[in-house]
Amino acid sequence: LVSRKKKAEDTVIDINGETVGAGGPSFIFGPCSVESYEQTAKVAESISAKGLKFIRGGAYKPRTSPYDFQGLGLEGLKILKRVSEEYGLAVVTEIVTPAHIEEALDYVDVIQIGARNMQNFELLKAVGETNKPVLLKRGLAATIDEFIHAAEYIMSKGNENIMLCERGIRTYEKATRNTLDISAVPILKQETHLPVFVDVTHSTGRRDLLLPCAKAAIAIGADGVMAEVHPDPSVALSDSQQQMDIQEFNQFYTELQRFMKEY
């Protein structure tokens, strides 16, 4: 169902007045984790000042260590909802278990399926049974074919509003957190009719690479870019090494817009 052979036209998804998959790239910015109302609102203010439409932020965090911050859970969803209403933004947030879906539907505009859950088939089927748009991230070590099949799981249950997100894969290379597989973008665009995002934060894990990789994503035809922004990354409860602060974010977005105009 996700194949270009089944449907030649691009899938276009309308979320909160933002057209994803047509009319230029969409941007999803926000903190790694929702930590407090104040922290989330600061980022939201700077997103909405740019005329952007999405905020991301994790309330349920799939962390490598069980002793690391696990997210605020339902309280985090409530913060996202409040901030989204105050700043006119659509909420993109990760859901990690089918048990949380029903409760989350009231708070969330886009359900994110994280890399670690790309092949959690029961979760894929459960989000497929909702009518919420889904942002499906590529697994840490998933082939493009496995990634496409994961999207197929969702669509096979009736949900056609799927966005794919390349977020880097595991290789032997240590210079970056993951290896951004930039060629996955045109391959996914050829093989499927779905919008394709590039997460420059988790793929690189390096602030100095966010802008060049975002430019590369847009140049190669991505429908959107995701990156993490935190008011004070040095005290962030997750991914403190790689999030942009507000000033860096302003500069990043200004330079990216300049690039898009020239391009």
Residues making contact with Mn ion (CB under 5 A): 32, 239
For position 139 contacting ligand PEP by CB under 6 A, the verdict is no
Q: Are strands 13-15 and 18-20 parallel, antiparallel or unpaired?
A: antiparallel
Cα–Cα distances (Å) from 52 to 30, 106, 190, 208, in that order, read 11, 22, 27, 23
- Quote the least distance from Cβ 76 to Mn ion, whole Å: 14
> Which phi and psi (to 5°) does residue 170 adopt?
-80, 125
Q: 60, 100 in Cβ contact below 8 A?
A: yes
Interface with ligand PEP: number of residues (CB under 6 A):
10
- Quote the least distance from Cβ 92 to Mn ion, whole Å: 13
Can you give the three-state secondary structure of 121-162, one letter per residue? HHHHHHHHCCCCCEEEECCCCCCHHHHHHHHHHHHHCCCCCE
Residues 172-201 that bind ligand PEP (CB under 6 A): 199
Only one residue has tokens 């203010």, namely 45
Which position's Cβ is nearest ligand PEP?
114
The number of residues in the chain equals 263
- Quote the least distance from Cβ 222 to ligand PEP, whole Å: 15
CB-wise, 53 or 202, nearer to ligand PEP? 202
**Residue 94 binds which entry of ligand PEP, Mn ion, none, CB below 5-8 Å type-dependent:** ligand PEP
For position 167 contacting ligand PEP by CB under 6 A, the verdict is yes
Q: Are strands 54-56 and 90-94 parallel, antiparallel or unpaired?
A: parallel
Residues 203-262 that bind ligand PEP (CB under 6 A): none
Dump the DSSP string for 213-242: HHHHHHHHT-SEEEEEB-S-GGG-SS-TTT
- Per-residue binder mask for ligand PEP (CB under 6 A), 17-56, x = binder: ---------------x------------------------
CB-wise, 25 or 57, nearer to ligand PEP? 57
- Residues contacting 109, CB < 8 A, separation 6+: 15, 16, 54, 84, 90, 91, 92, 132, 133
CB-wise, 178 or 192, nearer to Mn ion? 178
Instruction: Using CB under 6 A, pick the residue from 18, 94, 166, 223 that binds ligand PEP.
Output: 94
Instruction: Using CB under 6 A, pick the residue from 30, 31, 71, 114 that binds ligand PEP.
Output: 114
Dump the DSSP string for 18-55: EEETSSS-EEEEE-SB---HHHHHHHHHHHHHTT--EE
CB-wise, 31 or 128, nearer to Mn ion? 31
Instruction: Using CB under 6 A, pick the residue from 30, 31, 58, 195 that binds ligand PEP.
Output: 58
**Residue 18 binds which entry of ligand PEP, Mn ion, none, CB below 5-8 Å type-dependent:** none
DSSP 11: P
CB-wise, 91 or 115, nearer to ligand PEP? 115
Binding site for ligand PEP (CB under 6 A): 32, 58, 94, 114-116, 137, 167, 199, 202
